[in-house]
């Protein structure tokens, strides 16, 4: 009757009046889309991807519009959207798809992943940055190839090896590209890998980087050149490194290879505005290439053509916030979803990467063994203790004399690196004679003495030795040693052994990025080694036992990672570069030591993978760790058992750190890799049920973790 209620012309009912919204409720069982009505005045703003405020269960919460649709699937009445926070469509289809996949993989909630993936809004940054790139898309900085690129015409899929249409062009392409591929030419499969990126395909490579850094072929150049191929093919590139120093180096390499302004860096130390601006430049398509640390794995690079990350084994790649995703997992999920190429590189190889290689998913890209060994420094071993002799200066610094002599000679030619382990690793139990780590006879978990004076028990399943007692699986010995690690040599101590030589330290607190080629003693903890101009003349890797005896499943892989990380900064053996590994335990040589001497990290990774297959340890199996009260664990385990055939270790009490709260327990569940998805789904269901009935007892679920054992 009345005309008052009729919509005014400027406020017509939207053509797509329904908005699907992911709501950040923080509740696991509400981890899905809800539909809202789009009020006419928000029609143009409420585009897919924008942040919104909505009323949900009576309170004001944040969310993202994920879609607009003509009709609702929800039967009831729809509440109207309250407000569009910003017109910026931050949650792109690529991002929401990635976030969902990551949440599924880690049995986490989408909201948690979105908090990692989408930075907090910075309104000033949004306003200040132009919508369009300030300059028209820069012309390709790559000098045009002298011959028209034959690859342009080929749209047919190429095999993983170099395949071109005819022999003659192949020759031409080979030469042209050889100049272009630079350091990749040192790897037989390298140029073909680049060509496949250029052709818009999705090759995946696990690169064993050549040690040393001859001009223009440092590892950051591998990434920069691969990124250029993706960019030249009209697609985007995303590179992730563990820390700030690596970021500086890849950043510089990208500037060299791509020119200025073609990429952005993204890292936590940037501050909110700079960070959000950089993120927006990627989102708005001002740049097609991003390099950053951990959180950058979610960067909104458009039309992703390449993902890459350096040093998979670095624990900085593990996100410490729920659901604890690892950079390599996130990037491989993205590569799979977008059809992007993938490259991970390091001086050593993690077992996780080797597992992909062994499964045929990623190609191993390495220089021929002889080339690799020639590029590496000469490695020798100095034993533990027996070599400490009367030599006054060396003895005072607790240095094996062989190490001291090498350093003294090398200091005449350039800087010498001394790697000293940090203190404070967990004590573990190992065979008294051969130092093979003691493992549980039931589940192969690590054995430790939880309470001083008590009997040893497994840190995973809690079982003791049983009636037979300990017997070393390697040598049959029945006595144990407890390794207390972490003697740290002071700079003064070492400095006194080399009078008159300047001493530089780099470690927790103060990390140095580089040193000159002047003779200097550089003392660093693992991971904090400065790069030396022209390479170190030598390196001393001290207290090898401190790394090898760690109570960690990954001890030997991690030891090799740290040693190669330092040794790769030394000049090649052809230039006299040498390394002494000191403090190696007596008895049978550990595989990690052998792998360093032979410079064969892939071999060690494969040996380790084989062993983990035999012992049913990750990454040969999929595991998850549940922490909570006995009752919560029991209920969770029986629920999981309804849907998945899991192997259950525990529950066993976690030693509390004097908090006085009721003792928590942990349980580890494991399944074959093929059941990984089913396990994650089951864990999600457990989380959801518990959340729905408001279970007051906390239960923490962490996929891919066995705790700090």
Q: Which tokens belong to 687?
A: 């989380």
Binder to DNA among 1, 4, 15, 57 (CB under 7 A)? 57
Q: Which tokens belong to 385?
A: 């203790």
Q: For DNA, which is the closer residue by CB, 23 or 680?
A: 23
Q: Long-range contacts for 23-26 (Cβ within 8 Å, ≥24 apart)?
A: 23/54, 23/56, 23/61, 23/62, 23/63, 24/61, 24/62, 24/63, 24/111, 24/114, 24/115, 25/56, 25/57, 25/61, 25/111, 26/109, 26/111
CB of 679 to DNA, least distance (A): 25
CB of 58 to DNA, least distance (A): 2
71 binding DNA? (CB under 7 A): no
Q: 349 with 325: CB under 8 angstroms?
A: no
CB of 510 to DNA, least distance (A): 44
Q: Which stretch binds DNA (CB under 7 A): 73-81, 146-154, 487-495, 649-657?
A: 73-81
Number of residues lying near DNA (CB under 7 A): 21
Please identify which residue in the block is written with the tokens 């497994």. Answer: 458
* Strand order across the beta sheet in which 699-703 lies: 647-653, 665-672, 621-628, 699-703
CB of 699 to DNA, least distance (A): 15
Near DNA in 211-240, by CB under 7 A: none
The Cα 270–Cα 118 span in angstroms is 15
Binding mask 23-52 for DNA (x = CB under 7 A): --x-x-xx---xxxx---------------
CB of 635 to DNA, least distance (A): 17
Q: For DNA, which is the closer residue by CB, 75 or 467?
A: 75
Q: Which tokens belong to 497?
A: 């052994």
Binder to DNA among 8, 59, 120, 127 (CB under 7 A)? 59
**Alpha helices per DSSP H over 498-629:** 544-548, 555-567, 591-598, 601-615
Burial class of residue 517, CB neighbours in 10 A (0-12, 13-18, 19+) = middle
The Cα 589–Cα 315 span in angstroms is 26
Binder to DNA among 216, 369, 692, 698 (CB under 7 A)? 692
Q: For DNA, which is the closer residue by CB, 111 or 527?
A: 111
* Strand order across the beta sheet in which 578-584 lies: 378-383, 578-584, 538-541, 416-419, 521-524, 503-506
64 binding DNA? (CB under 7 A): no
Radius of gyration of the chain (CA): 28
Q: Which candidate, 680, 632, 626, places its Cα nearest to that of 654?
A: 626
Q: Which stretch binds DNA (CB under 7 A): 74-82, 201-209, 463-471, 588-596?
A: 74-82
Binder to DNA among 56, 223, 404, 536 (CB under 7 A)? 56
Binder to DNA among 12, 13, 44, 55 (CB under 7 A)? 55
Q: For DNA, which is the closer residue by CB, 120 or 694?
A: 694
Q: For DNA, which is the closer residue by CB, 25 or 571?
A: 25
The Cα 187–Cα 419 span in angstroms is 29
Binder to DNA among 11, 41, 69, 79 (CB under 7 A)? 79
CA dihedral 11, 13, 19, 23 (to 10 degrees): 50
Q: For DNA, which is the closer residue by CB, 160 or 629?
A: 629
Q: For DNA, which is the closer residue by CB, 35 or 311?
A: 35
Near DNA in 95-134, by CB under 7 A: none
Q: For DNA, which is the closer residue by CB, 8 or 59?
A: 59
The Cα 125–Cα 251 span in angstroms is 22
The Cα 26–Cα 536 span in angstroms is 51
CB of 80 to DNA, least distance (A): 8
The Cα 203–Cα 159 span in angstroms is 9
CB of 51 to DNA, least distance (A): 17
Binding mask 644-683 for DNA (x = CB under 7 A): ----------------------------------------
Region of residue 291 (left: phi > 0; alpha: psi -120 to 50; beta: else): beta
Binder to DNA among 7, 9, 58, 452 (CB under 7 A)? 58
Site residues, DNA (CB under 7 A):
25, 27, 29-30, 34-37, 55-59, 72, 74, 76-79, 692, 694
């Amino acid at each position: 009757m009345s005309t008052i209620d009729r919509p005014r012309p400027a406020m017509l009912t939207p053509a797509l009046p329904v908005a699907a919204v992911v709501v950040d409720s923080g509740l696991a069982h509400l981890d899905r889309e809800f539909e809202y009505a789009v009020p006419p005045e928000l029609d143009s703003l409420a585009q897919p991807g924008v942040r919104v405020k909505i009323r949900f269960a009576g309170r004001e919460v944040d969310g993202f519009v994920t879609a607009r649709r003509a009709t609702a699937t929800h039967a009831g009445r729809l509440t109207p959207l309250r407000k569009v926070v910003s017109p910026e469509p931050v949650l792109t289809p690529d991002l929401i798809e990635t976030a969902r996949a990551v949440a599924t993989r880690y049995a986490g909630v989408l909201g948690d992943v979105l908090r990692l993936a989408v930075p907090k809004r910075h309104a000033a940054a949004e306003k200040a940055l132009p919508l369009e790139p300030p300059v028209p898309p820069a012309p390709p900085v790559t000098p045009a190839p002298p011959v028209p690129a034959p690859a342009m015409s080929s749209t047919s899929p190429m095999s993983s090896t170099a395949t071109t249409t005819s022999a003659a062009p192949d020759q031409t392409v080979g030469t042209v590209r050889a100049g272009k591929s630079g350091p990749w030419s040192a790897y037989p499969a390298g140029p073909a890998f680049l060509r496949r990126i250029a052709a818009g395909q999705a090759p995946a490579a696990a690169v064993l980087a050549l040690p040393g850094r001859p001009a223009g072929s440092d590892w950051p150049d591998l990434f920069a050149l691969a990124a250029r191929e993706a960019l030249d093919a009209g697609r985007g590139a995303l590179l992730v490194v563990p820390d700030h120093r690596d970021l500086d180096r890849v950043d510089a390499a990208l500037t060299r290879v791509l020119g200025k302004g073609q990429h952005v860096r993204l890292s936590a130390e940037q501050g909110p505005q700079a960070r959000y601006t950089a993120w927006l430049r990627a989102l708005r398509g001002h740049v097609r290439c991003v390099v950053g640390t951990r959180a950058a794995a979610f960067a909104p690079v458009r039309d992703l053509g390449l993902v890459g990350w350096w040093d998979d084994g670095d624990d900085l790649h593990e996100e410490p916030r729920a659901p604890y995703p690892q950079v390599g997992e996130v990037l491989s999920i993205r590569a799979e979803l977008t059809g992007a190429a993938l490259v991970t590189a390091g001086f050593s190889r993690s077992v996780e990467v080797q597992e992909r290689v062994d499964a045929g998913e990623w190609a191993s890209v390495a220089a021929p063994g002889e080339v690799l060994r020639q590029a590496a420094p000469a490695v020798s071993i100095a034993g533990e203790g027996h070599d400490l002799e009367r030599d006054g200066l060396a003895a005072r610094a607790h240095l094996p004399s062989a190490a001291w002599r090498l350093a003294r000679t090398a200091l005449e030619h350039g800087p010498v690196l001394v790697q000293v382990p940090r203190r404070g690793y967990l004590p573990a139990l190992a065979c008294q004679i051969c130092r093979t780590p003691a493992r549980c006879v039931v589940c192969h978990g690590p054995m430790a003495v939880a309470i001083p004076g008590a009997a040893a028990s497994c840190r995973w399943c809690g079982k003791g030795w049983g009636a037979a007692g300990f017997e070393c699986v390697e040598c049959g010995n029945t006595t144990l040693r407890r390794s207390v690690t972490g003697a740290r040599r002071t700079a003064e101590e070492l400095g006194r052994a080399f009078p008159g030589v300047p001493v530089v330290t780099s470690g927790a607190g103060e990390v140095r990025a580089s040193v000159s080629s002047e003779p200097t003693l550089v003392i660093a903890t693992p991971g904090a080694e400065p790069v030396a101009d022209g390479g170190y003349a030598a390196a001393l890797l001290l207290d090898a036992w401190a790394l090898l005896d760690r109570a960690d499943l990954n001890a030997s892989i991690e030891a090799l990672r740290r040693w190669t990380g330092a040794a790769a900064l030394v000049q090649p053996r052809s230039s006299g570069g040498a390394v002494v590994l000191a403090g190696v335990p007596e008895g049978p040589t550990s595989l990690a030591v052998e792998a360093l001497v032979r410079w064969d990290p892939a071999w060690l990774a494969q040996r380790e993978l084989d062993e983990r297959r035999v012992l049913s340890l990750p990454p040969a199996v999929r595991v998850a760790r549940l922490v909570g009260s006995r009752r919560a664990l029991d209920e969770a385990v029986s629920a999981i058992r309804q849907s998945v055939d899991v192997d259950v270790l525990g529950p066993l009490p976690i030693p509390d750190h004097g908090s006085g709260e009721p003792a928590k327990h942990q349980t580890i569940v494991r399944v074959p890799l093929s059941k990984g998805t089913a396990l994650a789904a089951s864990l999600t269901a457990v989380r959801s049920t518990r959340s729905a009935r408001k279970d007051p007892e906390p239960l923490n679920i962490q996929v891919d973790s066995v705790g700090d054992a």
